[in-house]
Structure 1
């Protein structure tokens, strides 16, 4: 028995488990693979509520979580003693079509073509203008994963990696146990943070959207800002790695990189930042984003009184992690109501 059993060891599950533990809960995480090695490991780590063009309550939610990041990262670094690659580098969101330029030219953060090239040298000639978003930034998602795992272990959170949950046992309005490859597991409360694999356990409207990605190496480290274009994003790390992504493929759990997918990303990235053409390729990979209707995550109460939902974060799991962890913890520990997304 444990106070809370978190199903899923990605960034949402790990973050929530840490927040719960720091509020005094005895927490166990159960993860089918290695913690943090699904969508979290495959991501680019952008903190980009404005560049993503989120709107309404979802934009407010993203900005609130972005504002939590400095303190959230400081807590993780204190617990883990590890760097998370958090970098408030700013973000340039180029406009490539004249029709789009006319639409956003009145935006308060719009800058002209000339200003865009002054702000970031080396841009391709196809850029007609851009949004300059100094508060958007990034975190190194793989470093963050390692810090989260170390932090969780420092808090004596029990982590069951390589443990498959076959089904969720229920009795009327309550979850009674989990049937797993490690036997029957029981808890007072359960958090469902299973991302793209949610439908294997609950009939919820979550589906996987595949994204292919690659990275190149910039020996000169000239690129110091994220470029978030309509056709791709280009994310420079402080060690010279540049992450390029990502395709958007609605074809289930089809694995692997394809020649067409990688060629598409490279062609788009080179047209936006031509210096990439001469950079060596380091790695290619793919992942599955958990898509929910209207891209709004499913958070809070479920049909079972002791099962809480924390899934469906789609492209923004890393951005939304701090606020999700806090609000799910407040809901479980203090009974503070979750109102999504009308009163967040």
Structure 2
């Protein structure tokens, strides 16, 4: 099969290249930065489709399918590369600091359960028996047993190693533009000249909507949404579960770091870490676990989530034959990595991926109409 170019070396781009290379496709990945940086590096690695409580049934179904694929996905990467991405299935604890919060959690328990969550309401003693590091006066918690996490930075390293082992080429370029005629893609142009390919996949994350050279009829309205996070050093195994308080969360890592996230700020491509953001996160963390006050903050960072116009990612074909998109995953990029990569690879190689229909670019204001077949 002829070459496929992937623009963007985040988890979505790397996993797509990995799936294609396993099918014998020659793949080149372009990015302006080192692979697996940006949102792929900045995320928390939560695999929590039920806790997100999305009312979007199609997105929930895609998220559940991706969660089911994760064990086999990471096992294959470990066998190929030796990198353990530390898939942990310790569940999610939504804690309540008072009776009103506990009542609100009880009211949503049925929704979580209907979405497929393995849900239980826990009293204070049950919560502390499982997570003794948490606040002693909390009211209780809603526990979702069938959610998980991965170390997204290790996942990026594993995908990069797997891609290189399969012969995927990587090009670091400061600028890149799509080249096409009125009907189909021709390739890409970089400062090093023109490179021809019959298929180009836009997996450029928060920058996907700004890819140069894309005809207006095929442009996707991705926008960046900033998120700030911090990490606190804890003794290993001090906490096991993902812990949520409202929209803030604590994610324990095997190396002893406790990730605390994340703010949601619409401010363009600004990735500053702000005093207000850190104050917000630390307030939530100390409310959940006051003992954290005596531990060191060891890292702060910010990343850009790629948001779409309606909360769904843009996946699949566009009116330009051979130009595909895999972007706009917003908060679910890490969760949706396996299912996105598998479906995009199937669309390219086999000519069909029915699961992508609800996420087609055609829904963007009725402006985009995807082509039927992008094989070559």
| CA distances 1:159-197 after superposition (whole Å, capped 9, x unpaired) | 1124421x2112012111212123212212111101100
RMSD: 2.0
Work out the CA distance in 2 between the residues paired with 1:313 and 1:39: 11
Question: Which deviations, in whole Å up to 9, do the C-alpha atoms of 1:264-301 show, x marking residues without a partner?
Answer: 10111110122221111111000000001232100011
Distance 1:57 1:129 in 2: 31
**Could you tell me whether the CA contact under 8 Å between 2:92 and 2:144 is conserved in 1?**
yes
Corresponding residue for residue 52 of structure 1: 52
Cα–Cα, structure 1 residues 183 and 88, in superposed 2: closer, same or farther, change >3 Å? same
**SS of corresponding position for 1:209:** strand
Displacement of 1:59: 1.3
What do the CA deviations read for 1:134-154 (whole angstroms, capped 9, x no partner)?
A: 221111111111111111100
Distance change in 2, residues 1:194/1:223 (3 Å) = same
Contact 1:214 1:285 in 2 (8 A): yes
Quote the Cα distance in structure 2 between the aligned partners of 1:339 and 1:145: 25
More contact order relative to length (CA 8 Å, sep ≥ 6) = 1
**What's the counterpart of residue 38 of structure 1?**
38
Total equivalences in the alignment: 343
**In the alignment, which residue of structure 1 is the partner of 2:195?**
185
2:107 to 103, 110, 119: 103
In the alignment, structure 2 segments of 5+ residues that lack a partner are 114-118, 361-376
Q: Is 1:173 equivalent to 2:183 in the alignment?
A: yes
Q: Out of 192, 195, 204, which is 2:205 matched to?
A: 195
- Sort the Cα spacing of 1:102 and 1:132 in 2 relative to 1 into closer, same or farther, 3 A: closer
> Which sits farther off after the overlay, 131-140 or 309-318?
131-140
What CA deviation, in whole Å up to 9, does each residue of 1:60-87 have, x standing for no partner? Answer: 1111101101110011112212121221
Instruction: Report the TM-score when normalising by structure 1.
Output: 0.94
Give the TM-score, by structure 2 length: 0.86
2:237 is aligned with 1:233: no
Between the aligned partners of 2:355 and 2:256, the Cα distance in structure 1 is 41
**Structure 1 counterpart of 2:289:** 273
